[in-house]
Amino acid sequence: MSATLERPTPLPGSRGPLFDDSLAPIRAKIEKGERLSLADGELLFTTPDIWTVCELADLVRRRLHGDTAFYNINRHLNYSNVCALSCKFCEFYRKKDEPGAYTRDMAYVKEQVREAVENGATEMHSVGGLHPYLPFSYYTDLVSTIRDTARELGSELHVKAFTAVEIVHLAKIAKVYKADDRTSGIRHVLEKLKEAGLGSLPGGGAEVFDDRVHDEAYKGKIRSDVWLDVHRVAHDLGLNTNATILYGHIEQRHDRLVHMDMLRRAQDRALAKMGYEGIGQQTTGISKDNAALRESGHLGYSGDEGSEVPIITLTRPGTPLPEHIAFSDTPSLPLSVSPSLPRGYFQTIIPLPFFPDGSELEHLPGPAGLENLRTLAIARLMLDNFPHVKAFWIMQTLPMAQLMLQSGADDIDGTVVWYDITKVGGSSTHQEVNVWTLQKAIREAGFKPVERDTLYRRVERDGKAWRSRLIS
Ligand code: SF4
């Protein structure tokens, strides 16, 4: 394809399509699978030509996934909404004796598992508040109860649980967290949870990687450096993880780009360990463009800062996806991968719009439709080494998720059932769609629906039984 845009003749009476010629160099980079700079990201955020932004994101998404769009059959289980913190943007947390506070016991968990298995779920997604009094054994019990109850019922449920901030909280509860050597405590907790049956980590709690925003809106939560450390240790242990970005509150658009840049640098490191070859060298952490941010105390250091890693993009034509390497026995992949290497990496970026209702930041307007669409499309373009982009229908709405499938997203999440964290437009905690509705939404958007498991393998069903197969 050419980097020069052909301008169609506008129809009489219309102003015609809005073309921004300054996007041409970005288009040329994307066509070659080159990494976009933060300056490119700024232009994508400010151009009035949002449709070209969406078109470019669609080009990348189709290169990676063709006309496939993923969904899964899952359940969310919020084990407790009791939290020691009081983040300003959060409407979920309760103090221990406040009305509406809850903590689920194992009988409740078993019942949820039974219902999940009966409904064909392949995944249990479990997160909660930072409960100040539950012992560490509660969390290992939670994970093993989900795994073992599903097995007793003749099925398997992948346990995706605990955001990075919860993992650090658990390390403190287990009394293994040391400020001067935080990764050993994080490793201890993740190893114990993995033994109990933890399959992967969700991507929550990242918010926006900027310490000024952090201190203003979610002080007390872990900062970017610790969040990245948790995910790095998880990857080293072979656990896949996701990442989120919560935008549209007190951050600036530039902060979103810095966040994306830090995530893709962390992913470079994970993919390098899997054997991917790079298109250049760089140092992990934040880009040179943002050294000033660090100087001014806006960003902290991750334990991984400063290592030399290659720049790795997955968006170059013909580059295999990491799931193809992690799960394939095929020796013909163009990478030298040792089977003994750890295989953890970021699977999915999930842009999450901020909802002001019920939070301490209720006076803010929150982002609206086009800003959500643009942010997701830019996430697809900037995060060139993330295999998947999710339009999380619970927070984006299903109609918006359809537009997002045409603008960079390849996944709309799953059937969910109960979701306490954010209630869009005053909706209840019971938020469920059936498989038929998800498939219809995907087909209507022009894609082929594929049921995936948590690790992005195709799910094949035979009655109530299911198994996973690599998607080629
Ligand atoms: S966002 Fe998480 S850590 Fe913050 S108050 Fe809500 S539940 Fe607690």
| Torsion 245-251-254-255 (CA) sign | negative
Q: Largest alpha-carbon pair distance within the chain? A: 71
Q: How far apart (Å, rounded) are the C-alpha atoms in residues 424 and 396?
A: 8
Give the Å distance between the CA of 163 and the centre of ligand 1.
11
132 lines ligand 1 (CB under 6 A): no
CB 218 within 8 A of CB 89: yes
Q: Which SS3 state, helix, strand or coil, does residue 234 take? A: helix
Ligand 1 nearest atom to the CA of residue 81, by list position: 7
CB 144 within 8 A of CB 110: no
C-alpha triplet 76, 81, 86: angle, nearest 5°:
125
* Segment 99-116, tens digit of pLDDT: 999 999 999 999 999 999
CB 298 within 8 A of CB 212: yes
Q: How far apart (Å, rounded) are the C-alpha atoms in residues 97 and 155?
A: 37
Tokens at 46, concatenated? 């400010």
Nearest to 289 by CA among 40, 105, 37, 460: 37
83 lines ligand 1 (CB under 6 A): yes
Ligand 1 nearest atom to the CA of residue 83, by list position: 8
93 lines ligand 1 (CB under 6 A): yes
pLDDT attached to residue 150: 94
CA dihedral 87, 90, 95, 98 (to 10 degrees): 150
Nearest to 123 by CA among 242, 213, 225, 222: 242
164 lines ligand 1 (CB under 6 A): no
Give the Å distance between the CA of 69 and the centre of ligand 1.
31
Judging by DSSP bridges, how do beta strands 411-414 and 388-389 pair with one another?
Answer: unpaired
Q: Which SS3 state, helix, strand or coil, does residue 433 take? A: coil
Q: How far apart (Å, rounded) are the C-alpha atoms in residues 245 and 257?
A: 10
Which domains can be identified in the chain, with CATH numbers? 21-469 (3.20.20.70)
Place of tokens 């990242």: 206
CB 229 within 8 A of CB 186: yes
pLDDT attached to residue 278: 79
CB 160 within 8 A of CB 199: yes
424 lines ligand 1 (CB under 6 A): no
DSSP 343-361: ---EEEEEEEE---TTSTT
Q: How far apart (Å, rounded) are the C-alpha atoms in residues 93 and 247?
A: 19
pLDDT attached to residue 299: 46
Protein residue with least CA distance to atom 2, ligand 1: 129
Under-50 pLDDT residues of the chain: 1-3, 286-290, 293-294, 296-302, 330-341, 423-425, 429
